[in-house]
Amino acid sequence: MRTAIGLDIGGTKVSGGVLDEEGRILVRTRRDTPDRSNAPRVVEDTLVEVVDELLAMAEEDGIDRPLTVGIGAAGFVAADRSTVVFAPHLSWRDEPLRESLGCRIDLPITIENDANAALWAEHRFGAAAGASHAVMITLGTGIGGAILVEGALVRGRYGIAGEFGHMQVVPGGQRCECGNRGCWEQYSSGNALVREAKGLAMAHSPMATDLLAHVGGDVSRLTGPAITDIARCGDATAIELLAEIGHWLGVGLANLAAALDPEVFVIGGGVSAAGDLLLGPARETFARQLTGRGYRPAARITAARFGPDAGLIGAASLGAREGNSPR
Amino acid sequence: MRTAIGLDIGGTKVSGGVLDEEGRILVRTRRDTPDRSNAPRVVEDTLVEVVDELLAMAEEDGIDRPLTVGIGAAGFVAADRSTVVFAPHLSWRDEPLRESLGCRIDLPITIENDANAALWAEHRFGAAAGASHAVMITLGTGIGGAILVEGALVRGRYGIAGEFGHMQVVPGGQRCECGNRGCWEQYSSGNALVREAKGLAMAHSPMATDLLAHVGGDVSRLTGPAITDIARCGDATAIELLAEIGHWLGVGLANLAAALDPEVFVIGGGVSAAGDLLLGPARETFARQLTGRGYRPAARITAARFGPDAGLIGAASLGAREGNSPR
C-alpha cells in the first residue's frame, strides 16, 4: 500500500496525517500554528516535528512508510509551487518553503494553496468526483476558492487564481481587510454573518431578541456556529441571516458560472455546516440570476464532502501524485 | 505552404478568408448575415457560398488549396464544438452546425465561439503572444470574453465559459437584455457609452452642449465611434464618458484578476479603438482595486492587435490546428 503525508497549515492549527491512496486518514496529529510574530523558521520547526511524529506513528502502527509530503497552506503559493508569496496569518513573505523544508525532510515535498488542495480532495474522493470542471468555494471567516478545468487545477500565471472573495459585488460597499470595498466575502462569509447578527443585536432590534436570549444576552457569543445552531432550532432571525449569506453566495456563484461554466460548485468551509439553510437560498438566487438560464445547462451547487480535513486529504493526494513522478 | 479557411459569423456580417500559417489573410470575402427570421439552412447556404468562393479565389490566385475550415460564431458553442447551443443574432438553437455543413463542405470543420477565436488569434500572433495565461475582453455593443490557461482555451463544462459581460457589478443596477440587472456590460460597453451620452443630451445638460454640436444636434448620431472621435478632438464630456466606461472596465478586470490571475488582459472589440482614452482609466482603476496589490505581480492591460479580423484569424488557426490532427 502506498501512503503519503498530508499537512494543512491554517491560521490557527497545523494538521497532519498519513493517508492511503483512497484519501483515508490512517493516523493523524496536530499542533497550534505558531503566532505570526514568530520567524518563518519557527513554523518550519513545527512542520518538521509533525512529519517526524507522523513517520514514527506510521512505523509504530505497521503502516507502510510514506513516500511523499504534500502541504496545503493558507496563502498565495507561487506558480513554481516552491515559494509561499504571502501568507496573511503567518510571517511569510516570499518564503522558499520547499527549499527550506527540503534540507530537513528527506521526502519529495509539494506545496499547494489550501483551497486548491481542498478542491483536489473533493475532485478525487468527494463531492466533485467525476466532474471535469468544478469550482470550490470555502466559506470560512472569508471566502477562499479554487478552479478545476478539464481535471486540472487552475493556479493562474502567478499561482494566485481563485481569490474569489475579493471580487467586488457592491460598489462602495463594506470595507474589506484587503483594502477595498464591497468584496464578496464582506457579504457571504462567517465574518459577514457575525457582523450582521451583532449589528442587529446592538441596534436593539426586536428581531434580535430571541437570538440574544439564546446566547444569554452576550453579544460576543454570537459566533457563526452559534447562529447556525440557533437557526437550526427554528429562530426566524437566524434563518434570515443565513439566507442573506446564502443569497449573496448565489449572486457570486452566478457570476462565476458566467465566467467559468463549471459542472459543479462545491461549497466547503465552516459556514457550509449550515447546509440547506445556506445552500437553499443560494440555489434560489443562482437559479434566478444565472445568465442564459433556460438556454444552457446549469451547474449543480453541492456541499463539500470533507470538512476541515479537505486540505489535508488533497495535499496528501497532490503530494503523492507529484512526488512519485519523475521531476 | 499550408493554408486554411477562416470564417467569422457576426450579427451583421459573415467574413471569410484564406490564411497562411502566420495568420496572414491572403484573400477574403464577406456577405451580410441572413436576418434571424431565416431558417438555419439559409445561414448555412451563405457559409457554403463563402467557402466555395474562397476556394475559387485561392485557385485563381495560385494559392495552395486550403485544407481546413475554422468557424468563429457569435453564440454559445457546445463543449463538443459541433453544435451551436444558442446564437442570439441568428435563428440557431441547438443547431448541429458541423454535421450540417459537413455534408456540404468536403473539408474538416472546426467551430469555436468568436471571442475564443479572437483570443486564440491574439495568443498565436498578437498582443498575448508569449503569455500562457491570458484573458480577452471584447468591448462591442456588449462584452464578450475568453480565457487562456497554460496555453489552452478554457471553454467550460458546457462550452459557455467567458460570458463576463453578465457578471453582476451593481446590485439592482441597469436592466440588461439577458434579463438581469447590473451586468458588467451595462457599465462598460458601446451600448453603455451611447446610453450615457444620450442620457446627458436628453437631460439638456450643459455638459452635453459641445457633444451635441459635434453631431449637428442630432442625438441619434451619438454612436460609439462618434463619441470616440469627439473625445479625440479634446471634448471634455466625451473624454469623461469614455473614462467612465474605462473605470468600469478596470473594476471588472480586477474581479477577473482575483479569480483567474492572468499575465495579460487583451482588450478588443469596437470600443477598444478609443485606445488610451479607455485603457488609461481602466489601468488606473485596476491598479487601485486589484486585491493583494503590492503582494503580487499585476497583469498587464493591453489593446488587441487585431481588430475585426481577430475572429477570422483565430478561427482559421484553430481549424488548421484541429482539422489537420487525427480525430
> Whole-prediction pTM value?
0.95
Instruction: Determine the pLDDT at residue B298.
Output: 93
Which string of DSSP letters, residue by residue, matches A121-185?
Answer: HHHHHSTTTT-SSEEEEEESSSEEEEEEETTEE---TTS-TT-GGGSBSSTT-SB-TTS-BSBGG
pLDDT(A324) > 80? no
Instruction: Determine the pLDDT at residue B40.
Output: 85
Decide if B147 contacts B260 (C-beta within 8 A): yes
Within 8 A of A259 by CB-CB distance, chain B residues are 145, 147, 161-164, 167, 256, 259-260
A185: its cell numbers: 466575502
Q: In what order do the strands lie in the sheet with A76-77?
A: A76-77, A84-87, A92-95
pLDDT under 50: residue ranges of chain B: 327
How far does the CA of residue A159 sit from the closest CA of chain B (Å)? 7
Picking from B85, B247, B261 by the largest number of A CB atoms within 10 A of its own CB, the best residue to mutate is B261
Q: What share of chain B is helix, strand, coil (3-state, %, to 5)?
A: 40, 20, 40
| Cα→Cα distances A160→A99, A230, A292, B37, B249, Å | 20, 36, 29, 46, 21
Contact A296 B158 (CB under 8 A): yes
Picking from A83, A92, A168 by the largest number of B CB atoms within 10 A of its own CB, the best residue to mutate is A168
Segments of B10-142 assigned E as strands = 13-19, 25-32, 69-73, 76-77, 84-86, 93-95, 109-113, 134-139
Fold of B130-303: Nucleotidyltransferase; domain 5 (3.30.420)
Nearest CA in chain A to B251: A168
Decide whether B4-123+308-323 matches B130-303 in CATH topology: yes
Indicate the DSSP class of residue B257: H
Q: Does B131 touch chain A (CB under 8 A)?
A: yes
Within 8 A of B113 by CB-CB distance, chain A residues are none
Contact B157 A299 (CB under 8 A): yes
What is the residue extent of each domain of chain A?
Answer: 4-123+308-323, 130-303
Within 8 A of A149 by CB-CB distance, chain B residues are 149, 154
Query: Which residues on adjacent β-strands are paired with residue A139?
Result: A143
- The fraction of chain A above a pLDDT of 70, given in percent, is 99
In chain A, which among 199-238 make CB contacts under 8 A with chain B? none
Within 8 A of A165 by CB-CB distance, chain B residues are 258
Where residue A69 falls among pLDDT bands split at 50, 70, 90?
very high
* Residue A77 to residue A98: CA distance in whole angstroms: 11
How many Cβ pairs within 8 Å bridge chains A and B? 147
Instruction: Determine the pLDDT at residue A146.
Output: 98
Query: Which residues on adjacent β-strands are paired with residue B86?
Result: B76, B93
In chain A, which among 283-302 make CB contacts under 8 A with chain B? 289, 291-293, 295-297, 299
Average pLDDT over residues A206-230: 94
* Residue A311 to residue A116: CA distance in whole angstroms: 8
pLDDT, one tens digit per residue, over B122-142 is 999 999 999 999 999 999 989
Dihedral Cα B208, B214, B219, B223, nearest 10 deg: -100
pLDDT(A117) > 90? yes
Instruction: Determine the pLDDT at residue A326.
Output: 57
What is the bridge-based pairing of β-strands A264-268 and A300-303? Answer: parallel
Decide if B48 contacts B104 (C-beta within 8 A): yes
* Residue B35 to residue B12: CA distance in whole angstroms: 8
How far does the CA of residue B185 sit from the closest CA of chain A (Å)? 12
Q: In what order do the strands lie in the sheet with A143-149?
A: A152-153, A143-149, A134-139, A264-268, A300-303
Instruction: Determine the pLDDT at residue A54.
Output: 98
The helix or strand, by DSSP H or E, that contains position B268, with its residue range, turns out to be: strand B264-268
Where residue A36 falls among pLDDT bands split at 50, 70, 90?
confident
Angle formed by the axes of helices A224-232 and A276-289, nearest 10°: 90
Q: Which long-range contacts (CB under 8 A, 24 or more apart) does B12-18 make?
A: B12/B89, B14/B43, B14/B46, B14/B47, B14/B50, B15/B308, B15/B309, B15/B311, B15/B312, B16/B50, B16/B51, B16/B53, B16/B54, B16/B312, B17/B54, B17/B309, B17/B312, B17/B316, B18/B54, B18/B57, B18/B58, B18/B63, B18/B66, B18/B316
Residue A36: closest CA among A7, A6, A5, A74 = A74
pLDDT, one tens digit per residue, over A71-110 is 999 888 988 888 888 887 777 888 899 999 999 999 999 9
Instruction: Determine the pLDDT at residue A86.
Output: 82
* Residue B197 to residue B205: CA distance in whole angstroms: 10
Q: Does A154 touch chain B (CB under 8 A)?
A: yes
> Cell 432571525 belongs to which residue?
A237
* Residue A75 to residue A164: CA distance in whole angstroms: 14
Contact B168 A262 (CB under 8 A): no
B277: its cell numbers: 482614452
Contact A260 B161 (CB under 8 A): yes
Does domain B4-123+308-323 fall into CATH 1.20.1730.10? Answer: no
What mean pLDDT, rounded, does chain A reach?
94
Instruction: Determine the pLDDT at residue B82.
Output: 87
In chain A, which among 3-42 make CB contacts under 8 A with chain B? none
Q: Does B159 touch chain A (CB under 8 A)?
A: yes
In chain A, which among 56-95 make CB contacts under 8 A with chain B? 76, 85-86, 93
Contact B259 A167 (CB under 8 A): yes
pLDDT, one tens digit per residue, over A140-187 is 989 999 999 999 999 999 999 999 999 999 999 999 988 999 999 999
How far does the CA of residue B106 sit from the closest CA of chain A (Å)? 31
Contact A261 B167 (CB under 8 A): no
